[in-house]
Structure 1
Amino acid sequence: MNINQIVEEAVDFRRELHRFPELSDEEFETSERIQKQLQALDIPFETGFAGTGVLAIIEGKHEGKTVGLRADIDALPIHEVSGESFSSENEGVMHACGHDAHTSMLVAVGKVLMERRDEIHGTVLLIFQPAEEKSPTGGSQRMMDEGIFKGREPDVLLAQHVWPGLPVGQFGVMAGPIMGNSDRFKLIIKGSGGHASMPNDTVDAIIVGTQVVNALQTIVSRNSDPFEPAVVTVGKFQAGSQHNVIAETAEIVGTIRTQSNEMKALVKERFHKIVDNVTEAMGASVEIEYLDGYPATVNSGKWAEHMHGTISKLYGEEALPDLRPSLAGEDFGRFLLKYPGVYYWLGTSIGEGQKPLHNPSFRVNEDAFKYGIEAMSQGAIDTLETLKENQH
């Protein structure tokens, strides 16, 4: 097996996917491209889960348990300005979160595992999941609801995500929460508009809205435990139409991120009370739309330690720095509510000039592909070996 050739082919496929990104629930060509790759490798697969999802099945030479490996396949509604020679050709759509890398690396893992089938005790499922970016619905729950694991329940699930904050050759593996609860909200504040010179005859929706925004910041600063992560972010505030007209309505959109379910419940309760009471006190009314998003991504302690061991054997302890969790949301968290597993980060920093995930200039260091492919394929084999040993 020539790992360098496999890596080179993975990079080529990643660039193809990057040029033709597709939004959540619209990954039709992406799905076709994945299927062609699997056909060329003689890996059996099934399609249609959550619309465009694909499940490939690799049977090892020996009987055993089942491990699932997941990659997300959708892109974001972002206009790319990365300067890459293989930049997006689909206007306003970009792989700004590395899902193209995840997908191409998982196909490459399939190549590796097909060549190492005599080392596999059991079954490996390659899960190509759509709509990861479509919070709060996502694609993982729909895949499970549509029976992707019927008759082949995984004993352990693994997923990796490119991480621009880590240098190539390093990984982020941790037990417990690694990604956060990601809820979102939309407020429509209704006041009473009028002439700018006569504010006494109005209820200014802009003034009410600014008070709501300010008051929401007290949830984190005064209600939450300082040692419990929580973030309340207002990402959009729209109101008003003219310089001489007092706004009748204001729209406020934002997100709430927490790690524990207890903190999520506290912040949600305080959010509703503050919004209701502030608007009422100022003579306005409000419509609240609160969407419970992805649950926190919580890794199994046992399997996080196991993946840590696999990576340590491959690259040494120095490849595993001690890191803190992120409050970014991740649809893989829903898989982990039902099945034990590990979600870990793969260092992909380009160094100076690196932009964060979801940035229109986001870039991935393709030197990381060798590490991602090796770690995930070895992780699958090691996991099945441990599951076999635990049977006896």
Structure 2
Amino acid sequence: MTNQAPTASPLAGDPRFSGLLDAAHALQPKTVALRRQLHQHPEQGLELPLTQAAVLSALEGLDLRVHTGQKVGSVIGVLEGARPGPTVLLRGDMDALPLQEDTGLAFASQTEGTMHACGHDTHVAMLASAARLLAERRDQLAGTVVFMFQPGEEGHYGAKFMLDEGLLDVADRPVDKALALHITSKETSGVLRSRPGPIMASANSFTIRITGKGGHASNPSDAVDPVVAAAAMVGALQTVVTRRISVFEPTVLTIARISAGTTSNIIPETAELEGTLRTLSEASRATMLAEIPRVCAQIAAAHGCTTTFEVDAGYPVTVNDDEVADRVHDIARATLGSMHVNPMTNPLMGAEDWSYVLQRVPGAMAFLGACPPGVDPDEAAPNHSNRVHFDESALPHGVSTYAAFALDMLR
């Protein structure tokens, strides 16, 4: 990771941010209690009844209009400021992963095969406490805050479902700016990081099925071997990346699964390749999605085989608005202190369905470090690991950043 010298914020001393971090620390018992409740009872996918109920309970008593999803287990809270003005959207995703937890935490998952291994439990808890902070400061808001508690981020297109159900229309005015925070164990606890432009990649999964002619392994000339064709495709697809995509357009193509055959003395009739494609531009994505089936079909033909190609729709590139991303850094410097802001040099090749929101609204995603105490961030178990653990002392930094963003945009 790249560390940059601290930069002073032009918002330093702004009274709107005074005391926000202290107020977030005062809410830490509530934040931690909600986080641990969710961590012990994780749920996957688009329907999260226990999680939804916990969020509704956390928002109870606040001066919010609350909506729940029609087709998905979402929650939307709407806070009207004391005066009319723009609309700001803040997101926390809620779903967990299909993983057996092995952290040894006292509040580890009690649900077999399901774990909050990407920190979405922390996102929900931080956003709920930010809603409380902002409800207490309603008289400082000229506009509306929309709190988006989203299911189904982990490959289930939850953000897209919420957009289709009218997420951007719940306030009297269209959403003007948006922010999502994402926790990470691979950064120093309490440090916020973002960048202008692409911050996360697009993602497509694909399957290539090669069909030949089965036969005895001792007599390959009497068969048409799809395994040989599949092996040739693996190397050729890497050449497509280096020869069809500019070196200045990061692209990752990984064949992660090869499947063929049943035993050592049979040439199978079919073979299958499964992989993922990650890009940081829609142009590179389109080029690769056209080239992969073309190259594989030609290689198959050269080996006397045929192919089929299937691809999922996949999440788009997550692209931060330049001005909003820079403003998030300034807000965080003013709220957390310059030592807790470290702008990202490079994007990540992971993917996010927050990308769908950023296609419609100028906004940003930022990462919040939560490396456990005494652990080198480079050695920490990463997000999506069965052993990942997040430092809860970072949570007030996320709570206050969410609140400060809304106060700044609705000043």
Please report the TM-score for the alignment, with normalisation by the length of structure 2.
0.89
Q: How does 1:261-276 map to 2 (within 5 A)?
A: 261-276=282-297
Kindly report which structure 2 residues correspond to 1:89-238, keeping only aligned pairs within 5 A, or say none.
89-134=110-155, 138-152=157-171, 153-238=174-259
In structure 1, distance between residues paired with 2:358 and 2:23: 33
For 2:236, the aligned partner's letter is A
Shift of 1:65: 1.2
Cα contact 1:53–1:130 (8 A) shared by 2: yes
Q: Contact 1:44 / 1:58 at 8 angstroms: preserved in 2? A: yes
Is the 2:64–2:80 Cα contact (8 Å) retained in structure 1?
Answer: no
Q: Is the 8 A contact 2:240 2:291 kept in 1?
A: yes
- The equivalent of 2:388 in structure 1 is 362
Q: Quick check: 1:49–1:142 contact (8 Å CA) kept in 2?
A: no
Distance 1:278 1:243 in 2: 24
- Given that 1:179 and 1:329 are in contact with CA atoms closer than 8 Å, whether structure 2 keeps it comes out as yes
Aligned: 1:3 with 2:29: no
Structure-2 change in CA distance of 1:330 and 1:33 (3 Å): same
Taking only the aligned residue pairs, the percentage that are identical comes to: 36
Matched, 1:372 2:393: no
The one of 323, 328, 335 equivalent to 2:350 is 328
Q: Would the aligned equivalents of 2:78 and 2:170 in 1 still touch at CA under 8 Å?
A: no
Indicate the residue corresponding to 2:91 in structure 1: 70
How far apart, in 2, do the equivalents of 1:23 and 1:35 lie? 18
1:78-93 to 2 correspondence within 5 Å? 78-93=99-114
Letter in 1 for 2:370: T
Distance 1:44 1:383 in 2: 20
Measured on the aligned residues, the alpha-carbon RMSD in Å equals: 1.6
Displacement after TM superposition at 1:349 (Å)? 1.5
- The equivalent of 2:52 in structure 1 is 31
Q: CA deviation at 1:40?
A: 4.3
Q: Which residue of 2 aligns with 1:382?
A: 408
CA distance in structure 1 between the aligned counterparts of 2:402 and 2:272, rounded to whole angstroms? 44
Task: String of CA shifts for 1:278-322, please: whole Å, max 9, x gaps.
Answer: 111111111100223111111111211211110111233332223
Counterpart Cα distance in 2 of 1:319 and 1:29: 34
Aligned-partner SS, 1:16: helix
Question: Which residue, out of 312, 337, 355, partners 2:359?
Answer: 337
The offset of 1:357, in angstroms, is 1.5
User: How much has 1:3 moved relative to structure 2?
Assistant: 3.1
**Residue identity in the other structure for 1:209:** A
Per-residue deviation, 1:106: 0.5
CA contact (8 A) 1:306 1:383 kept: no
Match of 2:329 in 1: 308
State the distance in 2 between where 1:79 and 1:206 align. 34
Decide whether the 8 Å contact of 2:24 with 2:129 is kept in 1. no
Runs of 4+ in structure 1 deviating by more than 4 angstroms, as ranges, are none
Unpaired segments ≥5 residues, structure 2:
1-21
Pairs aligned (count): 383
8 Å CA contact 2:212–2:306 kept in 1: the answer is yes
Task: Return closer, same or farther for 1:294/1:179 CA change in 2, 3 Å cut-off.
Answer: same
The 5 Å alignment of 1:222-261 reads 222-261=243-282
Residue identity in the other structure for 1:139: G
